[in-house]
Amino acid sequence: MKYLLLVYDDPANWTNVTEEEMQGLYAGYAAVSNHPATLGGAQLKPVDTAKTVRLNGGDTITTDGPFAETKEHLGGYYLVETDSIEDALAIAETIPSVKMGGSIEVRALVEM
């Protein structure tokens, strides 16, 4: 089964990270990227570059930023293929954002 690991971070948690700490964190992200179950992934640009599209009474409305105001922002994702959700959760636990106070949402993909 394929799972999407959605990486959420609070940007405030990253303001005091040293260059040395950052190198270690990047190594952790690279390890997840290189995991045999990982099919792909990407880091997203900052939330202030996002646009949101809505339909209101037949009119399309495009606004700056994300849909909801939250402390945590979707910062990236990994697509993994594992035999169970437990295996996907084990991979999610290794993503450095968890250590930085972020969270990882694990969602199964609907495969057709």
- Asked if the model's pLDDT at residue 70 lies above 70, the reply is no
Query: What is the rounded CA–CA span in Å between residue 79 and residue 41?
Result: 6
Please calculate the CA angle 20-22-24 and round it to the nearest 5 degrees: 75
24-69 per-position pLDDT tens digit? 999 999 999 999 999 999 999 988 888 888 898 999 988 887 655 5
Q: Does domain 2-108 have CATH number 3.40.50.300?
A: no
Q: How much is the mean pLDDT over the chain?
A: 92
